[in-house]
Amino acid sequence: MEHLQADPPLNAAQLSLVANLTHVQVEAIDNALAMHCTSSWRKVSLVVGSALEQVQLAGVPDVFFAQRVKEHVARGKLEARGDLARMHYSEVRVPIGSGANAT
């Protein structure tokens, strides 16, 4: 029942690792996340997993990718439903009418 709990916070080593990511690396993560979002609802865990496979930055955890998804929701780049604190129980999509990645 591990998915019933909120996604874990980044530990000290992970925090240090992501703090040292370059702007280009974070942009690559953001672009990969955006690439896997459409105008249809998709599980955050699917979007994150697909982006992880695409970017493959050693040691960068899925939780950081999920945090980036939350940032995109906060900025209005994505819409969300469900509990974003639990990537297996939330979904995102490109806002209808934005024209990006429509399916």
- The string of pLDDT tens digits covering residues 18-63 is 999 999 999 999 999 999 999 999 999 999 999 999 998 888 999 9
Q: Are 64 and 70 in contact (CB under 8 A)?
A: no
What is the rounded radius of gyration, in angstroms, for the C-alpha atoms of the chain?
Answer: 13
Q: Which two tokens stand for residue 98?
A: 């934005």
Confidence band for 82, pLDDT divided at 50, 70 and 90: very high
pTM over 0.85: yes
Confidence band for 2, pLDDT divided at 50, 70 and 90: low
**pLDDT over threshold 60, residue 6:** yes
Confidence band for 97, pLDDT divided at 50, 70 and 90: confident
Query: In terms of Cα–Cα distance, which of 41, 31, 39 is closest to 91?
Result: 41
